[in-house]
């Protein structure tokens, strides 16, 4: 009995083309979303080059187009050239128990991968740049998030951890000593806002450059920012791998130039409530924005408050 042509066994070259497509697609998505080894900074640079970079650490619009449009274009090309063979191979595969199990396994793999991407997107810390506004919008979202676990060394040689940020409000920001542009500005603004609170607010600065801002250099770094003689201020560093892990845990998007050592990053500042929880995330805030955020630390957020800064209404 002659086998129907629509049930023909898949050609090896077609299977090879589909395998190449699947591997290329998998490689793209792993590069875009898989956790990167902290010591491999070139991988972070490759990710930024291939997919762009936004302040929440996710791909840019062009990056999403590459991740979605690239594989779809490749698949469409295969379908146009070999559409009949694809339909025949599909019917051949689903007509057999092994083929059906293979389809289920592939679907489960795709579902697991998409779930991982969805978790990565949900975990990304959205940051809102308020532009020229002098005050926070009335409905600026309250986050109420736990501070990631960390343990770093400050300019006095003492360790500081997330448990030490309980008891009074805290301004937590990220900077590095060699920065001559955005870092001095964000530290000055945070310091001024802390001073305006009559000493009730703690200021913590985590270095973005632990390779040069070593623990032994922190007294000089603190003095350069005007923090050396001020109580309630901490400049933190530690082993580079540990600091990089802390930065990633706080969802701080950054990119280090291996040639110059400079670090590109947003002017991110977290406002922590007295319970040691992240209440607000601000990007390039003015002193007024920071003051407003500190004043809004009480009462605690209600169930109706938006949980995502991207949901802010005007």
Cα separation, 44 vs 33, in Å, equals 11
Mean pLDDT of 237-249: 95
Given a contact cutoff of 8 angstroms between Cβ atoms, the answer to whether 208 and 176 are in contact is yes
Range with the lowest mean pLDDT among 111-120, 238-247, 257-266? 111-120
Q: Which residue has the tokens 């991968």?
A: 113
Mean pLDDT of 198-205: 90
Q: For the domain 128-311, what is the CATH code? A: 3.40.30.10
**167-194: pLDDT as tens digits:** 999 999 999 998 888 899 999 999 999 9
pLDDT of residue 304: 42
Mean pLDDT of 108-133: 65
pLDDT of residue 221: 94
Q: Prior bond to 153 cis, omega within 30?
A: no
Cα separation, 94 vs 105, in Å, equals 13
Q: Is 138 exposed, middle or buried (0-12, 13-18, 19+ CB in 10 A)?
A: exposed
pLDDT of residue 78: 81
Backbone angles phi, psi at 278, to 5 degrees: -70, 115
pLDDT of residue 215: 95
Q: What are the extents of the domains in the chain?
A: 5-123, 128-311
Highest-confidence segment of 196-200, 221-225, 305-309? 221-225
**Short-list 82, 99, 134, 109, CA closest to 25:** 109
pLDDT of residue 205: 97
pLDDT reading at 310 higher than 70 = no
Mean pLDDT of 40-55: 61
Cα separation, 256 vs 284, in Å, equals 20
**64-102: pLDDT as tens digits:** 888 888 888 888 888 888 777 777 777 777 777 877 787
pLDDT of residue 210: 95
Residue 107 confidence class, pLDDT cut points 50, 70, 90: confident
Cα separation, 122 vs 157, in Å, equals 36
**203-234: pLDDT as tens digits:** 999 999 999 999 999 999 999 999 987 888 99
pLDDT of residue 309: 42
**275-285: pLDDT as tens digits:** 999 999 998 89
pLDDT of residue 305: 43
pTM of the predicted structure, to 2 decimals: 0.57
Given a contact cutoff of 8 angstroms between Cβ atoms, the answer to whether 168 and 274 are in contact is yes
């Amino acid at each position: 009995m002659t086998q129907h042509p629509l049930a023909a066994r898949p050609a090896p070259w077609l299977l090879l083309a589909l395998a190449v497509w699947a591997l290329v697609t998998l490689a793209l998505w792993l590069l875009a979303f898989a956790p990167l080894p902290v010591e491999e900074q070139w991988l972070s640079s490759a990710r930024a080059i291939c997919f762009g970079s936004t302040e929440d650490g996710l791909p840019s619009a062009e990056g999403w187009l590459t991740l979605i449009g690239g594989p779809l274009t490749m698949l469409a090309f295969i379908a146009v050239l070999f559409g009949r063979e694809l339909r025949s191979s599909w019917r051949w595969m689903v007509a057999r128990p092994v083929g059906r199990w293979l389809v289920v396994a592939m679907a489960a793999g795709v579902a697991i991968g998409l779930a991982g991407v969805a978790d990565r997107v949900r975990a990304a810390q959205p940051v809102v740049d308020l532009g020229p506004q002098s005050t926070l919008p009335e409905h600026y979202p309250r986050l109420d998030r736990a501070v990631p676990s960390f343990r770093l060394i400050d300019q006095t040689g003492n360790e500081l951890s997330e448990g030490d940020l309980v008891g009074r409000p805290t301004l937590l920001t990220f900077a590095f000593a060699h920065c001559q542009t955005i870092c001095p500005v964000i530290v000055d603004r945070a310091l001024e806002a802390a001073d305006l609170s009559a000493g009730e607010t703690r200021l913590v600065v985590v270095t973005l450059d632990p390779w040069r801002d070593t623990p032994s250099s922190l007294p000089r770094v603190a003095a350069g920012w005007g923090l050396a003689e001020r109580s309630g201020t901490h400049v933190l560093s530690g082993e580079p791998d540990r600091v990089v892990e802390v930065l990633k845990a706080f969802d701080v998007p950054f990119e280090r130039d291996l040639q110059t050592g400079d670090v590109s990053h947003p002017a991110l500042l977290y406002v922590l409530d007295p319970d040691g929880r992240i209440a607000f995330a601000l990007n390039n805030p003015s002193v007024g924005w920071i003051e407003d955020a500190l004043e809004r630390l009480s009462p605690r957020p209600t169930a109706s408050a938006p949980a995502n800064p991207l949901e802010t209404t005007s």
